[in-house]
Amino acid sequence: MAIAPSSSVVRIGVLGCGHVGAAFIQLVERQADVIESRTGIRLQVSSVAVRNVSRERDVQLADGVLTRDAHAVVNDPTVDLIVEVIGGIEPARELIATALSHGKPVVTANKELLANVGHELWSQSDDAGVDLLFEAAVAGGIPLIRALRESLRGEPVTRVMGIVNGTTNYILTKMTEEGADYSAALSEAQRLGFAERDPTADVEGFDAAAKAAIIASISFGARVVAGDVYHEGISAVTDADIAIARRLGYVVKLLAIAEKIQDSATVAVRVHPAMIPVSHPLASVRDSYNAVFVEGDAVGSLMFYGRGAGGFPTASAVLGDVIDAAVNLRKGTHGTIGSFSRVPVMPIDETSSEYLIGLDVEDKPGVLHEITGVFAQHGVSIRAAEQEGIGSDARLVFITHTAREADVQNCVSELRKLSVVRRASGLLRVIGG
Amino acid sequence: MAIAPSSSVVRIGVLGCGHVGAAFIQLVERQADVIESRTGIRLQVSSVAVRNVSRERDVQLADGVLTRDAHAVVNDPTVDLIVEVIGGIEPARELIATALSHGKPVVTANKELLANVGHELWSQSDDAGVDLLFEAAVAGGIPLIRALRESLRGEPVTRVMGIVNGTTNYILTKMTEEGADYSAALSEAQRLGFAERDPTADVEGFDAAAKAAIIASISFGARVVAGDVYHEGISAVTDADIAIARRLGYVVKLLAIAEKIQDSATVAVRVHPAMIPVSHPLASVRDSYNAVFVEGDAVGSLMFYGRGAGGFPTASAVLGDVIDAAVNLRKGTHGTIGSFSRVPVMPIDETSSEYLIGLDVEDKPGVLHEITGVFAQHGVSIRAAEQEGIGSDARLVFITHTAREADVQNCVSELRKLSVVRRASGLLRVIGG
């Protein structure tokens, strides 16, 4: 289609051409006419910077579009807007900073970058009056960031809890629904391409922690970086833990939790496996889907559900941001993210939760008495207790009332020292009960 | 708190002070400091127009704020922005048109107005370069409209399906989970304030149809009004229908469905009870909650979940829009909704679906043969059939393959004429199978 004479062309420089970059370029090609008819703006991908120009790609590019020189792209005065899908901190940081300094809006899908140096870049973009948008950096195609930044800007948000890692949700779903053990479920996820060959970043919670830092920053206007976020992964979750949780009416999910501590400026941000009641909306989020549950005093409960990864879902989020930034650019305006205050992040030891604690014990008189004594001594009050098995297979399962993390950890250390306790396992936090 | 010298005050005129209006005024009071610190804008409710100034209200207002003259509010040059929460078409339309003509942005929660004359007002606001925002008009506190208008502006959206009426979802949940019959569930909903004394607008699908028209307009840039939307309510849904659905692995929900017909400019928009598989994310949306499921070629499946009604959730959505409009006003910019094309809306007769059909029949040889003959004659192919009960209580249940509505309706009329069929009931469309 010819460009309408009244339309304005916005030339896009794309840094990186992996799954997301290639999907974005295809999506722009396919949707350019519709976007032009709705906004009067013609999007054109004019340069694509890659490390290896001779590699086979999923996308056809016109001659002269592909280049190895990412710096030339951000410095090119004919490029209006930058899409950064390289990932990692450097050179992404430097390229984005350069683009912003030239007044070019930037759209990025880079969670690692934003979870570490986002505050520096956001403040640079605000000072320069240029958009830096990042919907795709958290929960892929789900329009969460825009909802938090704009729709809920006036809402007293109290807590945001999300399933923000598809790999671990896939593994936990297999363990829950098929009774697979952790390593079998991980292997299947790897075979199907849902997990990397080295799955550490996903299964140990690093990926979710980076997203939690961004979510906490945006939800509470607080400076939170990845290093502030306590994280535990799912590699220690056993099929026995999941079976107990199920029997008690819960499912186990890896949650990223950001909450505002009542009547204080403090926030708590953490990632860990948690038991959530089967009736909770997050409990029915299966396979590699993501979902984020937002609680606010006025709005009540909200949930946003969708694909948290994948080329096209992520590219869809990038494109939404690109249209927004292009429209703003042509109007000579930009979104503001506002300032972030330095607020205390509560150490995990001081957070409170209910806990499930499983103990393999000797089945003899006086055992329960001895164990409950240790709970009492640490001020951890028991909401429910039950015994499974008998004789040498006896296992006691406790659910506590809300208790401080440090008290529970000390209590469990002490329990491990008892001669009647063979193994303390399955320390799981219980949410939303 | 004193207003910071650098802050800009935006004075708001509120038309109507029912549940939503009163909640909005309280929310502005409570959040004004936070909003000011994030945006540099101080929101102030400066006038509130009501029909009866002497009525008791949930909110305290300063002297001189309350007035009976809504026209004076929209004409007052010291009022910067209008919030319309009166509802109904007139005088809301005239008041909003006047406000827009004075360059005042308007935020409205009025679905009836937008589903009937929205296109006229949207085009007026675009021509005037002034915001007309309406997040609260569909699905209350759920940030759906912003996602459709902005995040998904470049996404090839193919279908939007929503549970957008809390009253009917509450009634269907009671029928499903407690085996209540329709009238008992309705009475309970009325007792708890989830249903009006005259529940027609909710239970017959008028409310959902208005929301469907707005959703279709925004999703597809199409001119669709309430009168274009085929709607069937839930008053004919029986506990037997729900029981059969459950046994087959489905739940019954009232769905508003807007879809783009492939390879054509046509859209189909309708509201009716539907069977959805229990594993579908919409199936676990219980009680008076709303949720909207969006499908797009690139993004895949998204779902937005939350409170679709109630003073504070709706006020939260109004406040999000007010902040947006206020920020735009101070920047001298505004959002654009783009143009809407007149596209054909497919008549319900031409739409296609799978169907569940229940028939009370005489249990004698040859009955199934006679009945399947009628199906074949109308080109309706059967995917599954089963018999419940025996003798005079025999009931046959069929699920069809995808078939045209008109063919199925003709087939059922024909079946009703057979002497062996005592009653044809439970014609339910099956979705997402």
- Report pLDDT for B240: 86
| Record: contact A322-B39, CB cut-off 8 A | no
Q: Which residue has the tokens 């399962």?
A: A397
Determine the angle formed by the axes of helices B239-247 and B166-178, rounding to 10 degrees: 70
Of B279, B322, B333, the CB nearest to A333: B333
pLDDT band at A1; cut points 50, 70, 90: very low
Q: In this structure, what token pair is assigned to residue B394? A: 């025999």
Non-local CB neighbours of A263 within 8 Å, separated by 6+ positions: none
User: Among partner residues A34, A154, A320, which is closest to B320 by beta-carbon distance?
Assistant: A154
C-alpha–C-alpha distance, residues B430 and B250, integer Å: 9
How far apart are alpha carbons B119 and B93 in whole angstroms? 12
Instruction: Answer whether B310's CB lies under 8 Å from B287's CB.
Output: no
Q: Token digits for B413?
A: 């009329």
Judged against a pLDDT cut of 80, whether residue A50 lies above it is answered with yes
**Which residues neighbour A75 within 8 Å (Cβ) at sequence distance 6 or greater?**
A98, A102
In b/e form, how buried is each residue of B255-289, taking b as 16+ CB within 10 angstroms?
bbbbbbbeeeebbbbbbbbbbbbeebbbbbbbebb
pLDDT at A337: 76
Residues 6+ apart with CB under 8 A from B101: B124, B128
pLDDT in the model for residue B263: 85
Residue type, B207: D
- The structural domains of chain A, ordered by start, are 8-141+312-331 (3.40.50.720), 152-306 (3.30.360.10), 348-430 (3.30.70.260)
Q: What is the number of residues in chain B?
A: 433
Alpha-carbon gap: A150 to the closest alpha carbon of chain B (Å): 7
Quote the CA–CA distance of B64 and B78 in Å, as a whole number. Answer: 14
Helices A166-178 and A182-191: crossing angle in degrees, nearest 10, is: 130
* Chain B neighbors of A336, CB-CB under 8 A: 39, 327
> Are B141 and A34 within 8 A, CB to CB?
no
pLDDT of B56: 80
> Burial, B142: exposed, middle or buried (Cβ in 10 Å; 0-12, 13-18, 19+)?
buried
Looking at residue A107, its amino acid is V
Kindly report the nearest CA distance between residue B20 and chain A, in angstroms. 11
Q: Do B154 and A221 touch (CB under 8 A)?
A: no
Whole-number Å distance between alpha carbons of B189 and B170: 7
C-alpha A172/C-alpha A428 separation (Å) is 14
Residue A311 structure tokens: 């080329």
Scanning every residue of chain A, which has its alpha carbon at the shortest distance from the alpha carbon of B285?
A: A281
pLDDT at B137: 97
Q: What is the chain A residue with the closest CA to B305?
A: A303
* CB–CB contact A153 B35 (8 Å): yes
Output the six-digit token pair for A179.
Answer: 């009774």
Mind telling me the catalytic residues of B? Answer: 211
Contact state of B304 with A307 under an 8 Å Cβ cutoff:
no
Task: Please give the structure tokens belonging to residue A123.
Answer: 């403040």
Listed in sequence order, the residues at least 6 apart from A393 whose beta carbon sits closer than 8 Å to its beta carbon are none
Please tell me which of the candidates A23, A135, A298 has its beta carbon nearest to residue B316.
Answer: A298
Q: Which residues contact A54 (CB under 8 A, 6 or more apart)?
A: none
CA A144 – CA A294 distance, rounded (Å) = 10
How does DSSP classify residue B341?
B
Interface of A with B in 100-129 (CB under 8 A): none
Q: Kindly determine whether residue A153 and residue B296, on different chains, have CB atoms separated by under 8 Å.
A: no
What local confidence, expressed as pLDDT, does residue B3 receive?
54
CA distance B368 to chain A (A): 39
Chain A residues within 8 A of B331 when measuring between CB atoms: 333
Least-confidence region, from A316-325, A364-373, B172-181, B316-325: A364-373
Mean pLDDT of A45-49: 97
**Interatomic CA distance for residues B71 and B137, integer angstroms:** 22
Return the DSSP state at B345: B
Higher pLDDT, B248 or A292: A292
Nearest residue to B164 via CA among B85, B283, B257: B257
Min Cα–Cα distance to chain A from B163, Å: 14
3-state secondary structure of B115: helix
Whether residue A54 is predicted with pLDDT greater than 90 in this model: the reply is no
Q: Which stretches in chain B have pLDDT values below 50?
A: 1
Residue of B nearest to A311 (CA): B298
For residue A433, pLDDT over 70 is answered with no
> CB contact, 8 Å: B320 with chain A?
yes
- Whether the CB of B23 is below 8 Å from some CB of chain A: the reply is yes
Specify the 3-state DSSP secondary structure of B27.
helix
At residue B242, the pLDDT reads 93
Q: In what helix (H) or strand (E) does residue B165 lie, and over which residues does it extend?
A: none
Cβ–Cβ pairs < 8 A, chains A and B? 188
Tokens standing for residue B151 = 């995040």
Q: What is the 3-state secondary structure (H, E, C) of A386-402?
A: EEECCHHHCEEEEEECC
Q: Evaluate whether A171 touches A144 at the Cβ level (below 8 Å).
A: no
CA distances from A406 to A229, A348, A412, A413, B365 (A): 17, 8, 10, 11, 73
pLDDT for A4 equals 57
> Which residues of A are part of the catalytic machinery?
211
pLDDT tens-digit map of A12-22: 999 999 999 99
Top residue of B83, B148, B153 to mutate, by most chain A CBs within 10 Å, is B153
Count of other CB atoms within 10 angstroms of residue A1: 8
Query: Measured at the alpha carbon of residue A38, what is the angle toward residues A35 and A41, in degrees to the nearest 5?
Result: 60
What's this model's pTM, rounded to 2 decimal places?
Answer: 0.94
Alpha carbon distances (Å) from B22 to B19, B182, B221: 5, 33, 33
Nearest to A344 by CA among A430, A269, A245: A269
Instruction: Tell me which DSSP letter residue B24 carries.
Output: H
3-state secondary structure string across chain A: CCCCCCCEEEEEEEECCCHHHHHHHHHHHHHHHHHHHHHCEEEEEEEEECCCCCCCCCCCCCCCCEECCHHHHHHCCCCCEEEECCCCCCCHHHHHHHHHHCCCCEEECCHHHHHHHHHHHHHHHHHHCCCEECHHHCCCCCCHHHHHHHHCCCCCEEEEEEECCHHHHHHHHHHHHHCCCHHHHHHHHHHCCCCCCCCHHHHCCHHHHHHHHHHHHHHHCECCCHHHCEECCCCCCCHHHHHHHHHCCEEEEEEEEEEECCCCCCEEEEEEEEEEECCCHHHHCCCCEEEEEEEECCCEEEEEEEECCCHHHHHHHHHHHHHHHHHHHHHCCCCCCCCCECCCECCHHHCEEEEEEEEEECCCCCHHHHHHHHHHHCCCCEEEEEEECCHHHCEEEEEECCEEHHHHHHHHHHHHHCCCEEEEEEEEEECCC
The whole-angstrom separation of Cα A68 and Cα A44 is 19
* A296 and chain B in contact, CB less than 8 A: yes
Total residues belonging to chain A: 433
Cα-trace Rg, chain B: 24
- From A39's Cα to the closest Cα of chain B, the distance in A is 6
pLDDT of residue A129: 93
Residue B431: how many CA atoms within 13 Å on its side-chain side?
28
- The residue behind tokens 């949650």 is A255
H or E segment and range at residue B206: helix B206-220
Do residues A89 and A116 make contact, with C-beta atoms less than 8 angstroms apart?
yes
Contact call for B305 and A305, based on CB within 8 A: yes
Rg (CA), chain A: 24
Contact assignment for A319 to B154 by CB distance below 8 Å: yes
> Rounded to whole angstroms, how far apart are CA atoms B224 and B344?
9
Q: Which residue has the tokens 């707005």?
A: B214
The answer to whether the CB of A394 falls within 8 A of the CB of A363 is yes
C-beta of residue B137 within 8 angstroms of C-beta of residue B110: yes
Q: Cβ–Cβ of A320/B154 closer than 8 Å?
A: yes
